[in-house]
Structure 1
Amino acid sequence: MSKMNFNDYGRCMATYNSWQNGVLFDLCDQIGDVERRLDRNMFFGSIHNTLNHILYVDLRILTILRTGEAGPFAPTTIVADDFETLKAMRAEVDADITEFVEGADHSWQDEIRELPFPDGVTRKLPRQLFLVQLLNHQTHHRSQITSELHKMGLDYGNTDVPYTPDLPIS
C-alpha cells in the first residue's frame, strides 16, 4: 500500500479491533466468571464491567454514526450480564463495525454531527472523528484489561497493528 486514505484506515482498524477483541475474549473466557467479576480497582471495577463499557460505547457511537442521535450517556450500563451473551454481542458488533466501514457509500465522511456531550457542551464534529473515537476507545480500555491479565500471569501477546492477520491492505 503506497497511500492510506480514511477508508483504508477504517477497514484496517476494524480488522485490528476484531482481532484484538477475539484475543481478549479468548483469554477472558479462560479466567472464568469469578475472576472476570472481581473488583480489581479498575475504572469500571472489574474486567466484566469494562468489557460491558466498551460494548456499550461501541453501540452508542455506531448509533451516532448511523443516525446522528445519542441518548443519555450511562457509562456503567451493563449490556449483557452473562459472559456468553457478552461474547456473542461483541462478535456481532465487530461485524457491524466492519460492515459500516466497508459500506459502498462513503459520503457520510463529509458530514458534521452536532451533539451534546456529558460535560454539557454541544460540539460540532466531523462524523469521521466518531469512528476514530470508537476505535481508540476500544484500545484504551482493552489496555486496562490486558494489564490485569498480565498481573494474573497471562500473556496477551502482540498488539501491534502491522501484525493483524488478514489486514485489508493492497
Structure 2
Amino acid sequence: MAKMSFNDYGRCMAVYNSWQNRVLYDLCDQIGAEERARDRGMFFKSIDATLNHLIHIDRRILGIMKTGEAPVYDAHTQVADDFETLREIRRELDAEIEAFVSSDDCDWQDGFREFTGVDGITRNLPRPLFLIQFFNHQTHHRSQITSELHKMGLDYGITDVPLTPDLPL
C-alpha cells in the first residue's frame, strides 16, 4: 500500500473493532452475569448496559452511513437482556460493519446528514465524519469497561491498532 486512503482507514478500523470486541466479550464472559449486571458507577451503570448502548449506537451510526437515516435515539435502549444474545448481535454487527467498509460502493461518502447532537445543536455534517465517530465512540465506551475489568484483576491485553491481527494493509 503506497498511501492509506479513507477507505483503507475504515477497513483497518473495522478489523480492529471486531478484534477488540472479541477480546472484550471473552473477558466479560469470564466475570459472569452477576458482575456484568452490577451497578459499578459507570455512565451507563453496568457493563451489560454499556454493551447494550454500544450496539444501539453502532446501529444508529451504521444507518447514517448506509442511508443517511438512523433509528430513534435512546441512550438507554436495551438491545438484549442476556449476554449470549448480546454477543451474537455484536458478532453479526461487526461482520456487517466490516462488509460495509469493504464495499466498493463509496457513494455514501458524498452525502451530508443533518444531525442534532446531545448538546441540542443541529449541524449539517459530512457522512464520512460518522465513520470516525463510529470507531471513536466504541473505543470510548470499551475503555470504560476495560477499566472495570482491570479493577477485577483481568488484563485486557493489547489495544494498539498497528498490532491488530490480519490488518488489511
Category of TM-score, reference length = shorter chain: over 0.9
C-alpha separation in 1, matches of 2:118 and 2:154: 36
> Percent of aligned positions with the same letter in both sequences?
67
2:146 corresponding residue in structure 1: 146
Q: 1:70: how far off?
A: 2.7
1:100 corresponding residue in structure 2: 100
Preserved contact between residue 49 and residue 76 of structure 1 (Cα < 8 Å) = yes
TM-superposition CA deviations, 1:23-72 (whole Å, max 9, x none): 00000001100000011000000011001111110011111111212343
1:47 corresponding residue in structure 2: 47
Unpaired runs of 5+ residues, structure 2, are none
Structure 1 residues 40-119: aligned runs within 5 Å: 40-119=40-119
Q: 1:15: how far off?
A: 0.2
3-state SS of paired residue (1:115): strand
1:136 aligns with 2:152: no
Q: 1:101: how far off?
A: 0.3
Unpaired runs of 5+ residues, structure 1, are none
2:18 corresponding residue in structure 1: 18
Q: 1:111: how far off?
A: 1.3
Q: 1:155: how far off?
A: 0.5
**Which letter maps to 1:161?**
V
Preserved contact between residue 73 and residue 118 of structure 1 (Cα < 8 Å) = no
TM-superposition CA deviations, 1:79-137 (whole Å, max 9, x none): 01100000000000001100110111112112111123333322111110111111110
C-alpha separation in 2, matches of 1:63 and 1:135: 14
C-alpha separation in 1, matches of 2:83 and 2:19: 18
C-alpha separation in 1, matches of 2:146 and 2:120: 32
3-state SS of paired residue (1:24): helix
Preserved contact between residue 70 and residue 115 of structure 1 (Cα < 8 Å) = no
Structure 1 residues 150-165: aligned runs within 5 Å: 150-165=150-165
1:121 aligns with 2:121: yes
**Which letter maps to 1:56?**
H
**Which letter maps to 1:156?**
Y
Preserved contact between residue 49 and residue 78 of structure 1 (Cα < 8 Å) = yes
C-alpha separation in 2, matches of 1:149 and 1:128: 32
Q: How many residues align?
A: 169
Query: After the TM superposition, which of the residue ranges 4-13 and 59-68 deviates more from structure 2?
Result: 59-68
Query: After the TM superposition, which of the residue ranges 86-95 and 1-10 deviates more from structure 2?
Result: 1-10
C-alpha separation in 1, matches of 2:161 and 2:36: 26
3-state SS of paired residue (1:92): helix
C-alpha separation in 2, matches of 1:73 and 1:15: 26
